[in-house]
């Protein structure tokens, strides 16, 4: 769903290859029969973008922690079981690693039944752990934070390791492309510090034009990441005070050129910003796991939470470069990256 899971899977595969292993990336939704995966993806995208209250209800009923019996993801996931086991038999891997909760339900179910003959690990890439990530049949869990790891340990008996997030190396070193972005922003609005607004790969954001106008009125240059949403890109391109961007290939350079990231999902763009030393501010989060993740990040001191416009402006002022809050936030974000996931799997 979106680009975050694909980005993580691709980076894990790249690292595995660099360390002398072979890796194959498979989308569990493509393993589902009868076009169910495509329908799920389209339904999720539509609900998050246009009917957020629907997704919030689904998340509360199926995914969020709670007591009492509730529906599981196993019945849906096991529809992909035959195709996954056939793939495993053909490729003969040493381990199957899930980076999506439906995949974790599938591998846990198959391991519990003895149908998956190789170990299954789950890289739980959310700050907020929801119950569909958790299945007692999986052999190991790798988590972003100690808090997430503790929550997983309360739910399953499998070993749990805190690794931190997975990002490409370019986000953790000098960003040669930053100067080009800075030149572009200075030509557009001299003297205005650029603030990046992320709408994710699908362009899912609540009132981005209003947020952009608020920032512009306060002296900032709003830079809006529209992802692959052509309609959002067209709308934001008509905002005279904003810079609208469609799909960006040089994210390390862009992040290095900005003052802060205004984030609504606590997803891969947020952890890329943390790796780059860019302060993150959660504002108008997506429903369900987005809102939970944004709150969890803020609770860990990794970001600020801005529930309204004045709070957003105050949060931006608080992390001006050179100040104590900016330095503290950058240090906490970079300390999150602790262990290499592929090395942890190789030691297993």
Residue 297 sits in a domain whose CATH number is 3.40.50.2000
Tell me which H or E stretch contains 224. Answer: strand 221-225
Is the same domain home to 56 and 158? yes
User: Among the three residues 162, 194, 215, which one is the final residue of a domain in this structure?
Assistant: 162
Would you say residue 244 lies in a domain?
A: yes
> Cβ–Cβ contacts within 10 Å for residue 38, how many?
12
Burial call 40-64: b when 16+ CB within 10 Å, e when fewer: ebeebbebbbeebeebbeebeebbb
| pLDDT greater at residue 57 or residue 166 | 166
Would you say residue 344 lies in a domain?
A: no
CA dist 1 and 264 (Å) reads: 16
Is the same domain home to 97 and 16? yes
3-state secondary structure of 74: helix
Is the same domain home to 54 and 80? yes
Mean pLDDT of 337-348: 91
3-state secondary structure of 201: coil
Would you say residue 94 lies in a domain?
A: yes
Would you say residue 341 lies in a domain?
A: no
- What is the separation of C-alpha 291 from the centre of its chain, rounded to a whole number of angstroms? 12
Is the same domain home to 97 and 194? no
CA dist 344 and 144 (Å) reads: 13
pLDDT-derived band of residue 136, with 50, 70 and 90 as boundaries? very high
What are the distances in angstroms from CA 166 to CA 80, 261, 296, 345?
Answer: 26, 18, 18, 14
Mean pLDDT of 3-25: 93
Q: pLDDT at position 199, please?
A: 83
Asked whether residue 30 carries a pLDDT value surpassing 70, the answer given is yes
Q: pLDDT at position 38, please?
A: 80
Q: Convert the pLDDT of each residue in 73-126 to its tens digit.
A: 677 778 888 999 999 999 999 999 999 998 999 999 999 999 999 999 999 999
Inter-axis angle of helices 81-91 and 101-113, to 10 degrees? Answer: 80
Is the same domain home to 78 and 134? yes
User: Among the three residues 107, 127, 162, which one is the final residue of a domain in this structure?
Assistant: 162
- Kindly report the pTM of this predicted structure: 0.91
Is the same domain home to 209 and 277? yes
Q: pLDDT at position 134, please?
A: 92
Tell me which H or E stretch contains 124. Answer: strand 120-124
CA dist 110 and 317 (Å) reads: 51
Is the same domain home to 17 and 158? yes
User: Among the three residues 162, 188, 220, which one is the final residue of a domain in this structure?
Assistant: 162
Is the same domain home to 78 and 174? no
Number of structural domains found in the chain: 2
Task: Output the average pLDDT for the chain.
Answer: 90
* CA dihedral for 91, 167, 223, 308, sign (positive or negative): positive
Whether 345 and 97 have beta carbons less than 8 Å apart is answered as yes
Is the same domain home to 239 and 267? yes
Please give the span between the terminal C-alpha atoms of the chain, in angstroms, as a whole number: 29
Is the same domain home to 123 and 209? no
Would you say residue 139 lies in a domain?
A: yes
Is the same domain home to 181 and 325? yes
Would you say residue 180 lies in a domain?
A: yes
pLDDT-derived band of residue 139, with 50, 70 and 90 as boundaries? very high
Range of the domain at 237: 170-335
Would you say residue 340 lies in a domain?
A: no
Whether 296 and 127 have beta carbons less than 8 Å apart is answered as yes
Is the same domain home to 138 and 245? no
Burial call 110-133: b when 16+ CB within 10 Å, e when fewer: bbeeeebeebbbbbbbbbbbbbbb
């Amino acid at each position: 769903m979106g680009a975050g899971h694909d980005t993580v899977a691709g980076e894990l595969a790249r690292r595995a290859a660099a360390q002398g292993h072979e890796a194959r990336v498979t989308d569990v939704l493509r393993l589902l029969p009868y076009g169910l995966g495509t329908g799920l993806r389209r339904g999720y995208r539509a609900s998050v973008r246009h009917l957020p209250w629907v997704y919030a209800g689904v998340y509360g009923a199926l995914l969020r922690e709670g007591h009492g019996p509730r529906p599981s993801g196993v019945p849906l996931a096991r529809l992909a079981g035959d195709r996954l086991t056939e793939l495993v038999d053909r490729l003969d891997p040493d381990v199957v690693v899930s980076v999506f909760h439906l995949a974790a339900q599938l591998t846990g179910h198959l391991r519990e039944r003895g149908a998956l003959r190789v170990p299954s690990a789950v890289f739980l890439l959310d700050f907020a752990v929801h119950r569909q990530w958790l299945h007692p049949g999986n052999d190991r869990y790798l988590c972003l934070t100690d808090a997430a790891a503790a929550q997983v340990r309360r739910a399953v008996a499998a070993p749990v390791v805190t690794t931190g997030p997975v990002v490409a190396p370019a986000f953790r070193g000098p960003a040669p492309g930053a100067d080009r972005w800075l030149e572009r922003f200075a030509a557009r609005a001299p003297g205005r510090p650029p603030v990046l607004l992320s709408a994710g790969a699908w362009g899912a954001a609540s009132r981005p034009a209003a947020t952009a106008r608020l920032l512009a009125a306060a002296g900032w240059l709003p830079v809006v990441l529209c992802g692959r949403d052509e309609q959002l890109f067209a709308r934001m391109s008509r905002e005279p005070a904003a810079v609208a961007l469609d799909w960006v290939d040089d994210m390390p350079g862009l992040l290095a050129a900005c003052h802060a990231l205004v984030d609504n999902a606590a997803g891969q763009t947020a952890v890329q910003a943390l790796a780059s030393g860019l302060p993150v501010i959660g504002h108008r989060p997506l429903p369900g796991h987005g809102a939970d993740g944004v709150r969890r990040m803020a609770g860990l001191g990794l970001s600020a939470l801005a529930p309204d416009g004045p709070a957003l402006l105050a949060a931006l002022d608080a992390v001006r470069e050179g100040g104590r809050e900016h330095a503290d936030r950058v240090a906490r974000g970079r300390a999150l990256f602790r262990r290499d996931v592929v090395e942890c799997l190789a030691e297993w």
